[in-house]
Structure 1
Amino acid sequence: MNAKDFFGILLMAMFAVVGLTACSDDDEEGRKVTDYKEYVLTVASEKIPGVLWSEGFNYLSEVYAVKQEPSDEWSAFGNIDGFEFEKGYEYQIKIGETSYLDYSMGTPAWTERELLEVISKDKKDSENLPLHLIPKAYYDNIPLPQYRYAVEADNKELIEQDLKDNSLIPLDYHDMLYRGEDATLKWIALQDDNKVFGPYIIQSKSKAPEEMPESYKVLPPDARIVGYGEWTFLDEAENSIDNLSFDVFMGYATQTKDVDRTPSAIYLYKDLTEYYKTKYPEANVETVVISYMLSAESL
């Protein structure tokens, strides 16, 4: 073998080694299974509002309430591949949970769960189910609603006192919006773990700016408005709740600099002029408008 042939073979061998190394590195950098386990869960007969974690942040949603043996406490649980939940039934199921790591992904570590077996399915209402699974640390960070009103009347003080005493929405509850299982917009307000207003379904429709009452101009929202609509609050049977229907302005509060995201505030408006003309005819009411500013942080 001459020197030219020898160096040719050596060069080919070096490229082969580099190629094998590159393939090995690709395997090392791909998706890895970091953990796998199987366990049994009790799944409550209805979904409730709760907080889940995804892609580095917490979000509010309708969740499965589950118990994992030996614990007797309900906790929030997200998607289970292959599990077909039917409201009104309590389940005992076996699932497999796989944890992955892939540094090429936006979120390098994540967990997937899949149904392995339905052990039992009983038609019953689950016992001791909480009203929600929203941690105090989460809802305490949601600002309380900001309540404003404007009154034009001879006896303005009488109307203003009535408005202070009879707010349509509790002013010391944290209002939160979230999406139900079918993407329906829902609303819940919490003062603490046991004092709950709602949850309610929000029936929404769009409105044009010119459809809003002229009276709202006496109490304009302090925001850059980007959307208009109407919200009607419904119970779980989809019956409307007395007095809980509002015109809606969606926008960015004036102090908000980042506008490349979901609007930062939602303004609920209602014209109560006719109501107060009837309630206090001697007050010579001309205009009564109320407004609630809610945080859109939970969306």
Structure 2
Amino acid sequence: MASINSTVSNDSYSKPIPIHDEELKIHKTCSIAGPGNEFVIIGDNKYYRHELMQAFGGTFTSGLTPYPKRQIANAPALGLFATHMNIFVLGLIFAGATGGSIPNAAVGLFIFVGGLLQFLAGVWCMVGGNTLGATAFTSYGAFWLSFGAIFIPGFGIGAAYADDPEQLNQGIGLISVGWAIFTTMLLACLFKSTLSFFWTVLTLDLTIILLAAGFLSGSPKVMKAGGIMGVINAFAGWFETYAGIATKQNSYLVPKEIPLPDLSRKSKK
């Protein structure tokens, strides 16, 4: 008889649940045990099936994940709102809704909502043990802070390129290439997530790629395409935000996530 540490319920955390080796069914992604296959074993921990939650974009989780032990608020919902509010405004700007200029009010949004608020959401994800959320939100929060700084005269960035504004566009384009690579890396971690979650990060990646190409090429059409994709991404991100805050207790409309197919499973001959 083997004993594996278990997180089974609010009343019995850390109680070991014995299992019989002959009951164990080995799978590539996890192990299933119990007479009725009611246990799921992930690593050295054993859980009841009902204590595992599927990948869920509203909490920035990918794949089967145990319910968190810490009773804290859903910080990823805040981070998703913050970044996609900025992307919505920036998308409208590049799509031509403001004639191509960045309003001063948007700069404050970049700094305090997409930057500070999202960075704090990432820190709260660290406290909650959400590595993916912490990495994404603190990184993108820092991006929005640095992007907003470009348009604040006190930083002197715009003045440094006053004689050659095209060089500023080239610089932003190169920076955007780096962020596109980073976003693609995050996207690769979501193949076991949900359809809407994957779509949100995919459209974000496409937005950054198009804007990077637009800044580097100087093509207004490519920039406009990037802006339109940004608006599409904003609505995808807001869906995930709503999914993260809507519950059966506060809403009659609770989104149902569609998990992506498990490509690691192969049919047995």
Asked if TM exceeds 0.5, the reply is: no
TM range (shorter): under 0.3
Which structure carries more strand by proportion? 1
Which structure carries more helix by proportion? 2
Higher relative contact order (CA 8 A, sep 6+): 2
TM-score normalised by structure 2 residue count: 0.23
TM-score normalised by structure 1 residue count: 0.21
Structure whose CA Rg is larger: 1
